[in-house]
Structure 1
Amino acid sequence: MATERLDVIIFGASGFTGKYTVYEAVSVLKDLKWGIAGRNRAKLQEVLKEMGAKAKKDLSQTPIFIADVNDEASLLNMAKSCRIVVNTAGPYRFFGENVVRACINAGTHHVDVSGEPQYMETMQLKYNELAKERGVYVISACGFDSIPADMGIVFVEKNFDGVVNSVETFLVSGVKDEKNASDSKAGLNTGTWQSAVYGLAHADELRGIRQKLYPERLPKFFPILKHRPLIFRSREINKVCLPFPGSDRSVVMRSQRFLYDTEKKRPVQMHAYIGFSSWLAAIFVALFATIFALMAKFEFGRTLLLKYPSFFSGGFVSPEGPSESRMERSYFKMTMKATGWPSSQRLAESTDQYTEPPTKTLMVRVSGPNPGYGSTCVALLSTAVTILRESNKMPGNGGVLPPGAAFSKTSLISELEKHEHGIKFEILANK
C-alpha cells in the first residue's frame, strides 16, 4: 500500500460505474497520482486488469485501499490517504453519508454522481457548515445528473451578454443503429434503478428537508416561467416532450439559490423536459412512469421493482448493465432555450424587477457520448481535477455545494470538452 498521499482515490471501483471511472481515469487523471478503493481486493485487482487491458495500459501497480461503508475506520484511513475521494458507490441514500463524514473529518474533498435530491440536500443541511470549517468541498451530481444542465446554465450566462430570466432544457438520448443492433437492450445497471425506486418512495421527505435548508423563500422574479403542458410537441427540438423527472431542476435551483444568497445574482428560472420521437412513445413512457411511481410508493411494489428490474423495465435494466457496444453507440443532446434581456436593458440592481417581457433568446446545445458510463465518468473525474487545480476560483474555503455553484468561475467546461467521452457545449443561435 502506498504511504505517500495520493491526489485521488476512486471509491467503489469494483462497481459498474466505478470500473468505467477507472478506465476514464487513465486519461483524465494522467498527470495525477491516483488509486482505487472498495471492499474486496480480488475484485479491485480484476478491475485494474480488465480496464487496463481496455485502456492498453498496465494498471497493476495502482494503489489499492480496502474500505467498507460500514467500517468508518477504513473510510477514514482511505480519506486520509488522498486529497479527494471520487465516490461511485451508490445508492447514496444508503452508502453515501459515512463516506462524506469520513472525508470531512480527514480534510479531504469529495465528489460523487448522485442524482438523489434527498441525499444531496440532506448532506448540505447536515454538513455544509462543518465542511466550510474544515476547508472541504463536498459536491454531488457530478455526472450526467446534473453536469449538463447545471454547467449548461453557467455556459448560457457566460455567453448571453445580458440578463437571463429563464432556461428550458430539452433532453434527447438514444442509441445509434438501434434497429440493426443484435446486442442486449439493457441501458442501465441496477444501481441506477435502485436509486430511482428509493428516491420516488421517499420523495415526500424533500419538503421537510427544504423547509429546514431554506427557511426563507426566494423572492419571485417576473415574468414567471410557466410550465409547458404535460405532453406537447416542442418546436425547439421537433420532438414530443414530457417533463423530465430527473434531479436536474432541483440541482440547478440549489445553484441559483446559492448564487442569489452569496452574490445577490438574479436567479435563473428553469424547467426541464425530455423528448421522444412520437406521441405513442411519449404516451407509453408517461404510462410507465406513472405505474413505476405508484409501485415505488408501496413496500410490496418496491419489492417487485427491486427483485425484477429487467421485467419491469422491459429489459432496459439489468445487473450486468449495458454492453460495451451499446454504450459506445449511446449519446445525449440537451438543447437549452434561454430568454432574457440584452445588456443594454440591464437594471441598476440585480434584484430589481423588469416591467417589459424578455427580448433576447439564446439557444445552446450540451451533448456527449455514452451518458450513463462515459460522459458521467469523465465529468466526475473532471470535477475532481478542477477542485485540485482551481480551488482558488471556487466559493469560500469549502462547503456542500451543487456543481453550478461550485464551478461557475472555474475552467471545468473546458476540461469537460478535452476528453474523448467528454461533454461539448455549443451555441446554436443568439438573437
Structure 2
Amino acid sequence: MTDQAREFDVIVYGATGFVGVLVARHLAGFAPAGTRIALAGRSPEKLEAVRQRLKVDWPLVVADATDAAALDTMAASTRVVITTAGPYAKYGRVLAHSCAKAGTDYVDLTGEVLFARDSIDENHELARSTGARIVHSCGFDSIPSDIGVHVLHSQVQADEAGELTDTTLVVTSLRGGVSGGTIDSMRYQVDVMSKDRGLRRIGASPYSLSPDRQAEPDLGRQEDMVTMPASEVDPSLRGHLAPFVMASYNTRVVRRSNALRGWAYGRRFRYREAMSVGTSPLSPVLAIGTKVALGGLFVGLAVPPVRYVLDRVLPKPGTGPSEQRQKSGHFTMDVFTTTTTGTRYTARFRAKGDPGYAATAVMLGEAALALALDREKLPKSEGGVLTPATGIGDALVDRLRTAGMEITARKL
C-alpha cells in the first residue's frame, strides 16, 4: 500500500557512494513492482551514472547535505528516506531534522553514539508530533544486535518464561572487511571527543542513548571491552571471547530499545557483546591481544603521528571490497540469556554476504521497504527517534527472513 499524496515511497540519499549503490541495487532487484523509488545526492552527473549502471528509470533528486531547504523539499516528497552519507555527525543532522519536521520516516547506517544522542535530543519530540519514525543504525550496526534480542524476548514472552536477565551476544563467525565509512566515522568521533570531556562522558556511559538515564536501573558497571572464557556465557561454548569492536555502540541501542518499551525485557536486563577467537589453546592470548589492539586503534587515531600512519593503511571512505569478496562474506551472531525463571534461551542471527557491505545493503533496503509498505505490521508508535526493534520490529524480521537471513530463537 502506498501513499499517493507523496511523490515517492523511498529515496536513496547518498546513492553515488559505495554502499549507496549497493542499497540501490538491492532495491532494483527486490523492491515490489510499483514501488516508487528515487536516487538522491549532490551530483547530478554521478546520479545519472548510477541510474545507467543499474538500468533503472528512477527519478533523480539533487540536494546537498548542508542545504536545509533542498533537504526539506526532498523529505516532504517521500514516505521514507534512506541515507548512506556519513559521517552522520557531519552529513546527517540536517537531513534527520528535515525528515522529523516533514513526518517522513528515515533510516541510516550510523554507529556514531554522539550523533545518535544529538538526534534524540533534537528530533525525538518533534518526530512524535509529526509521526515520523527516525530509525538510526539499520545495518550491521545494529540490526543483528537489536533484532536478535527482540526475537529472543518475543520467544521468552510466548513461553511465559519471565524476563531477561544477563544477556550476551557472541559473534561466533565473521568474515568481511572493515568499511571505510566506519573508519571515517571513528576518526570524526575521536576528534570531537578528544576536545570535550563532557562528550567523552556521554560516549562512555552505557546508557548514553537512553530516553531517561535517571530512570534506568542501577545494575553496576557494564563494560564493553570484555574478555572471558566462553563457557561463562553458556556451557555449550568453548574457547575464549574477546571484545567486539561494535559493542560500544550496539549495546546502547539495545538498552534504548528496552527503555522505550518500558523496560519490557526486564529491569534486571544486563547486556554485553563479545567475539569468539576460537577454541585453540592460544584463544586466551588472542582475546587479550584483540583487546589491546582495539584500544590501541582508538588511542592511535587520537595521536597525530600514529594517525598519519593509520590513515595510510586503513580503508578510505567510499571504497569497499570486490563483488566476489562481498559474496564470500558471512556472519553468525548468537545471543544467550537466562530468564528470571532460571530458563536459558538463545537466538541466532545469521546471514551471507560481507557484513558491512552486501548484508548491510539488504538490511537497510528492507528496513526502508518495511516502513514504506508494511505499515500495518509495524509496532504501535507515535513516532520519534526509535531503534530497529521499536520502530520496525516484526515487519523487519519477516522481510529479512524472506531475503534469506536466518533469525531464530529457542529454549535451551
TM over 0.5: yes
- On the 8 A contact 1:37/1:44 being kept in 2, the answer is yes
Which residue of structure 2 lines up, in the alignment, with residue 430 of structure 1? 411
Which residue of structure 1 lines up, in the alignment, with residue 36 of structure 2? 33
1:305-364 CA-to-partner distances (Å, cap 9, x unmatched) read 4x32xx2x4xx667531111111101111011111134xxxxxxxxxxxxxxxx210122
- On the 8 A contact 2:243/2:290 being kept in 1, the answer is no
1:240-271 CA-to-partner distances (Å, cap 9, x unmatched) read 3112231110110111111126x696463211
Pair 1:290-2:295 in alignment = yes
Which residue of structure 1 lines up, in the alignment, with residue 368 of structure 2? 384
Taking a change above 3 Å as real, the CA distance of residues 402 and 45 of structure 1, as seen in their structure-2 partners, is: same
- On the 8 A contact 1:72/1:102 being kept in 2, the answer is yes
2:109 to 100, 108, 113: 113
Whole-angstrom distance in 2 between the partners of 1:405 and 1:398: 10
Taking a change above 3 Å as real, the CA distance of residues 411 and 17 of structure 1, as seen in their structure-2 partners, is: same
Whole-angstrom distance in 1 between the partners of 2:259 and 2:346: 23
Whole-angstrom distance in 1 between the partners of 2:303 and 2:22: 34
SS in 2 for 1:411: helix
Pair 1:131-2:127 in alignment = yes
Which residue of structure 2 lines up, in the alignment, with residue 10 of structure 1? 12
- On the 8 A contact 2:11/2:82 being kept in 1, the answer is yes
Please, which runs of 5 or more residues in structure 1 have no aligned partner? 53-57, 176-185, 343-358
Which residue of structure 1 lines up, in the alignment, with residue 344 of structure 2? 361
RMSD: 2.9
Which residue of structure 1 lines up, in the alignment, with residue 385 of structure 2? 400
2:178 to 177, 182, 188: 188
Matched residue type, 1:258 = L
Taking a change above 3 Å as real, the CA distance of residues 6 and 296 of structure 1, as seen in their structure-2 partners, is: same
Pair 1:81-2:105 in alignment = no
Matched residue type, 2:365 = L
Pair 1:170-2:152 in alignment = no
Taking a change above 3 Å as real, the CA distance of residues 201 and 237 of structure 1, as seen in their structure-2 partners, is: farther
Which residue of structure 1 lines up, in the alignment, with residue 52 of structure 2? 49
Matched residue type, 1:214 = D
| Aligned residues between the structures | 384
Which residue of structure 2 lines up, in the alignment, with residue 355 of structure 1? none
Taking a change above 3 Å as real, the CA distance of residues 264 and 24 of structure 1, as seen in their structure-2 partners, is: closer
TM-score between both structures, scaled by the size of structure 1: 0.81
How far apart are 1:237 and its partner, in Å?
4.2
Whole-angstrom distance in 1 between the partners of 2:221 and 2:343: 15
Taking a change above 3 Å as real, the CA distance of residues 335 and 91 of structure 1, as seen in their structure-2 partners, is: same
**Comparing 200-209 and 145-154, the one that deviates more:** 200-209
How far apart are 1:107 and its partner, in Å?
2.4
How far apart are 1:276 and its partner, in Å?
1.7
SS in 1 for 2:101: helix
- On the 8 A contact 1:39/1:66 being kept in 2, the answer is yes
- On the 8 A contact 1:198/1:296 being kept in 2, the answer is no
Whole-angstrom distance in 1 between the partners of 2:202 and 2:228: 32
How far apart are 1:405 and its partner, in Å?
2.0
Whole-angstrom distance in 2 between the partners of 1:104 and 1:208: 23
- On the 8 A contact 1:166/1:225 being kept in 2, the answer is no
Whole-angstrom distance in 1 between the partners of 2:80 and 2:303: 38
- On the 8 A contact 2:351/2:406 being kept in 1, the answer is yes
SS in 2 for 1:69: coil
Whole-angstrom distance in 1 between the partners of 2:401 and 2:202: 38
Matched residue type, 1:240 = H
- On the 8 A contact 2:258/2:265 being kept in 1, the answer is no
Taking a change above 3 Å as real, the CA distance of residues 388 and 318 of structure 1, as seen in their structure-2 partners, is: closer
How far apart are 1:115 and its partner, in Å?
1.0
1:75-134 CA-to-partner distances (Å, cap 9, x unmatched) read 122212211101111110111101111212322111111111111121011110111111
Matched residue type, 1:405 = T
Pair 1:269-2:270 in alignment = yes
- On the 8 A contact 1:112/1:141 being kept in 2, the answer is yes
Whole-angstrom distance in 1 between the partners of 2:268 and 2:79: 32
Whole-angstrom distance in 1 between the partners of 2:22 and 2:50: 9
How far apart are 1:231 and its partner, in Å?
2.6
Pair 1:233-2:229 in alignment = yes
Whole-angstrom distance in 1 between the partners of 2:332 and 2:134: 28
Pair 1:70-2:52 in alignment = no
Which residue of structure 1 lines up, in the alignment, with residue 258 of structure 2? 256
How far apart are 1:386 and its partner, in Å?
1.9
How far apart are 1:166 and its partner, in Å?
2.7
TM-score between both structures, scaled by the size of structure 2: 0.84
How far apart are 1:197 and its partner, in Å?
2.4
SS in 2 for 1:138: strand
**Comparing 194-203 and 139-148, the one that deviates more:** 194-203
Which residue of structure 2 lines up, in the alignment, with residue 154 of structure 1? 150
Whole-angstrom distance in 2 between the partners of 1:66 and 1:47: 13
1:417 to 401, 406, 411: 401
How much identity, in percent, do the aligned residues show?
Answer: 25
Whole-angstrom distance in 2 between the partners of 1:396 and 1:389: 16
Whole-angstrom distance in 1 between the partners of 2:201 and 2:397: 32
Matched residue type, 1:271 = R
Matched residue type, 1:7 = D
Matched residue type, 1:149 = S
- On the 8 A contact 2:217/2:267 being kept in 1, the answer is no
Pair 1:375-2:322 in alignment = no
Taking a change above 3 Å as real, the CA distance of residues 385 and 62 of structure 1, as seen in their structure-2 partners, is: same
Which residue of structure 2 lines up, in the alignment, with residue 353 of structure 1? none
> What pairs with 1:202-217 in structure 2 (closer than 5 Å)?
202=192, 205=199, 207-208=201-202, 210=208, 213-217=211-215
Please, which runs of 5 or more residues in structure 2 have no aligned partner? none
Whole-angstrom distance in 1 between the partners of 2:371 and 2:398: 14
Whole-angstrom distance in 2 between the partners of 1:270 and 1:244: 13
Which residue of structure 2 lines up, in the alignment, with residue 352 of structure 1? none
How far apart are 1:232 and its partner, in Å?
2.9
Taking a change above 3 Å as real, the CA distance of residues 68 and 237 of structure 1, as seen in their structure-2 partners, is: farther
1:95 to 91, 96, 115: 91
How far apart are 1:283 and its partner, in Å?
4.0
Matched residue type, 1:207 = R
